[in-house]
Structure formats: C-alpha cells, structure tokens
Amino acid sequence: MRAFLRICALLGLWVSTASARPPPNADLSLAPWFQSLRQPRTGESCCSIADCRQTDFRVQDGHYEALIEGEWRAIPPEVILQRMDNPTGRAVVCYTPYRGVMCFIKGPET
C-alpha cells in the first residue's frame, strides 16, 4: 500500500510540473505582471503565466463568459479582478482543470 501511495504522489508531482509551463509564444516579459495577480477572495496568487491565458470573452445575460479550452464558460463574479492595468490588451483567465477559474481580468470592452 505504501508503494502505491508513493507512486501516486510521484505521479501527481510529475503531472503538476509537466503542466506548469507557459503557453507557446508567451511573452515572458509579462511574467512579473502575471505573478502580481491575486485572487479577490483570498489574496492568494492566481498562479502564474503558466496557468493564465489571454482569451476571448463575452457578456451573456449580464455575466462574463470566457473561451476556455474551446468552450464558453461562465466566470464566477467573485474571481473577477477589478484592475485597470492589463498589458496584454486582451482578457486573461487563470484556470486549471483541477481548480477551475481562479482569476479573470476583463479585456477592452467595446
């Protein structure tokens, strides 16, 4: 049983490090900005450039939705950051399949 638990722990560590890399063509000069993002409710980090992506967004029935992994997903109001600075010029969503949406920064609205 101990060996099984040890293997599970190592597998979990491997999966977390394998997925913790920036997306292709990421602008690494923005990494400090991504690292400055904090979850509104807890003050914890929104993670990093590895978990945050520029994305398309829309407003449906007064609520924000973001395009995540090819699918429109509702953005919980409590994860929306009310920041004026957004050097990406697009909406940004910090998301993992395990934790869901951690932070959302609106893009320019027209």
pLDDT for residue 48 is more than 90? no
For residue 104, what are the β-bridge partners?
80, 93
What would the mean pLDDT of 68-77 be, rounded to a whole number? 96
What would the mean pLDDT of 60-66 be, rounded to a whole number? 95
pLDDT for residue 43 is more than 70? yes
What proportion of the chain, given as a percentage, has pLDDT over 90? 43
What would the mean pLDDT of 50-55 be, rounded to a whole number? 90
Q: What are phi and psi of 59, to 5 degrees?
A: -110, 125
Rounded distance, CA 74 to CA 35, Å? 24
Q: What is the pTM of this model?
A: 0.72
What would the mean pLDDT of 54-64 be, rounded to a whole number? 95
Helix, strand, or coil here: 54? strand
